[in-house]
Chain A
Amino acid sequence: MPEFHPVLLARIDKPDSTSLAGYQADGGYAALKKALAMSADDVQKMVKDSGLRGRGGAGFSAGAKWSFLPKNHLGPIYLAVNADESEPGTFNNRILMEEDPHQLLEGIAITCHAIRSHTAYIYLRYEYGRSYRVLDAAIRECYASGILGKNILGTGFNLDVYLHRGAGAYICGEETGLIESLEGKRAWPRIKPPYPAIEGLFRRPTIVNNVETLCCVTHIIQRGVEWFKSIGVPPDPNNKRDVGSYGPKLYCISGHVNKPCCVELPLGVTARELIDTHGGGVWKGRKAKAVVPGGISMGFLSASELDTPLDFEGPGRAGCLGLGTAAVVVIDDHTSMVDVLYNCCRFMAHESCGQCTPCREGTDWSTRILDRIRHGKGRLEDIDLLLEVANSMGIIPGTTICGLADGAAWPVKNALTKFRGEFEEYIRAGRRSVKPADELMAAH
């Protein structure tokens, strides 16, 4: 394999990485010019042929999603940029927005041309204040130099890009929750179909794509399909449903490592390589007990599964939900999985939007059971009860509207099957691990 050089993160350490002048000095907006000289269909075809899969968590083919838009639609068609990044452990979109905003804006403009949209909304989580200010400045620069607005780059193409700030709710990252929230309502995910490509924002055809996905689009246009497909993992010939995991990917590494960071690597690097080579190894000379492969919704890899390749298929083969956001969280062998699982369940209970009973009640119930266990009052039957609750909620068993519930179930399922002995031992010994902060937050 040829040596890999970062592309998405290539500019982030430059002193002038956020300015338009700096971006253009590095060849920025050449891809947009190239795309605008092509037909929308040809741009779509390039992206489809590249095999680009969505980086937001579901791994759906970007080109295929775009092709679901109604043909010859009179418009408007919208692009909603998913910058709600809230999956625990994930921060790669933030780095892309804070350090290289024009790379994203260029991807947005190319995508809008490809999908025949003249309006893009960037739905940005409120907590990303710095991203907001950097993007806001970058958008202003683009308007001032004819890269956004009317007749961009003199091509006759019009495009407006608006920043829209969220208000601290994880569910706004689910694409139809995002749409409802943008429309000014509570972020209750919609029942699908229709999918947003058919009827989405303001009841118009809408494409929702993640920040990193759109950044990849820029480079596919600039460097070509062959370049993109030379990186990553081709489809497994024995798996008809595998369409391959091509391209560079941003991996976040956090938790118990010496050097938490975000690195760009070809899709398919193993968890072990990420931890040892890029994360500086497990901290304090300890060993990893469990590793979250792609945000907590994806569940856990055990210490014996660290050679799992983190492409779109690898984590699934190890019993995880999928690659998710490729955010790796390392848990050392001094940490109790009971505490880790409690933290995951509490997050999901806090963030469930409450529409579906199995999710609203299930996330809360599992949190309360684990809270009881952490107070030294667990019963061995609790383990199977937790599994039963987990197995009953989600799109996979068919009981909920959105995937938050599957992401709430997976850490429970993985923890209780891969680390069952530890839970049994904790309960038998009547251990207790609540902390002062738990009591303070419970009083709230």
Chain B
Amino acid sequence: MPVLSEELRNRIRAEFPKYPDKRAVTLPALHIVHDALRMVSPAAIVEIAELLELHPSEVSDTMTFYGFFHDKTPLGKRRVWVCRSISCMLRGGEELLAGLCNRLGVKPGQTTADGSVTLEYAECLGACEGAPCMLVNDECHMNLTEDSAAELIRK
């Protein structure tokens, strides 16, 4: 059984006409697979490489450069990134991160036992006017307190 459904393959193929070179579809393909399957397994890498006419190691080389993609364990349903860079740090970002770790019972990078939330730290999220801030998947939330953040994550 292939890891990538025909639907995912078609979405990847739909990216081809945008670029003069299939290799440029590496990041779009990784995003498509990562979003759908919550990780990119070694088997998925082989299948992506086949579609892009690349060696699997080329896909893997690119993928592992970006700390973004999980390749061993699937992400939780919600991926939460708490900013730790300067503007957030100055307004309690690190306390927010520590507080959420406590409440969820995980360390940065870990997923809750029920698989609902993966908690991570991020470098500057570019929402410094609303520090401290966090992303839930790719939605940004600003001016957080530990309570408001926990509430948003639960939702």
Contact = CB atoms under 8 A, between A and B. Distances in A.
A403 interface: no
Given A126-B68, A128-B126, A329-B87, A437 B21 contact: no
Interface residues of A, number: 64
Interface string B6-33: 0000000000001111011111101100
Nearest to A181: B27
A130 interface: yes
Main secondary structure on chain A at its contact with chain B?
mixed
A440 B101 contact: yes
Contacts, number: 172
A444 B138 contact: no
A88 B98 contact: no
B90 A256 contact: yes
Contacts of B21: 183-184, 202
B46 interface: no
B127 A94 contact: yes
Nearest to B82: A437
Contact of A127 (B18, B28, B66, B140): B140
Interface in B23-51: 23-28, 30-31
Given A127-B125, A167-B30, A182 B24 contact: yes
B86 A292 contact: yes
Interface stretch (A151-159, A217-225, A342-350): A342-350
A85 B126 contact: yes
Residue of B21, B61, B86 with most chain A CB atoms under a 10 A cut-off:
B86
B62 interface: yes
A260 B130 contact: yes
Contacts of B138: 126-130, 132
Given A164-B28, A166-B27, A252 B129 contact: yes
Nearest to B135: A127
A187 interface: yes
B94 A91 contact: no
B23 A183 contact: yes
A296 B23 contact: no
B90 A167 contact: no
Contacts of A183: 21, 23-24
A105 B84 CA distance: 32
A339 B94 CA distance: 12
Interface string A323-365: 0000101010001000110011001001101000000000000
B126 A184 contact: no
Interface residues of B, number: 52
Given A127-B140, A186-B65, A202-B21, A435 B95 contact: yes
Given A130-B139, A184-B24, A125 B86 contact: no
A169 interface: yes
Interface string B96-113: 011001000001110000
A170 B137 CA distance: 19
B75 to A, nearest CB: 13
Nearest to B65: A186
Interface of A: 76, 85-91, 93-94, 125-130, 132, 160, 162, 164-170, 181-187, 202, 252-256, 260-262, 292, 296, 327, 329, 331, 335, 339-340, 343-344, 347, 350-351, 353, 435-438, 440-441, 443-444
Given A167-B30, A437-B95, 9 more contacts: A91-B129, A94-B126, A129-B138, A168-B68, A185-B61, A186-B66, A253-B129, A327-B128, A343-B84
Interface of B: 18-21, 23-28, 30-31, 52, 61-62, 65-69, 81, 84-87, 89-91, 94-95, 97-98, 101, 107-109, 121-131, 135, 137-140
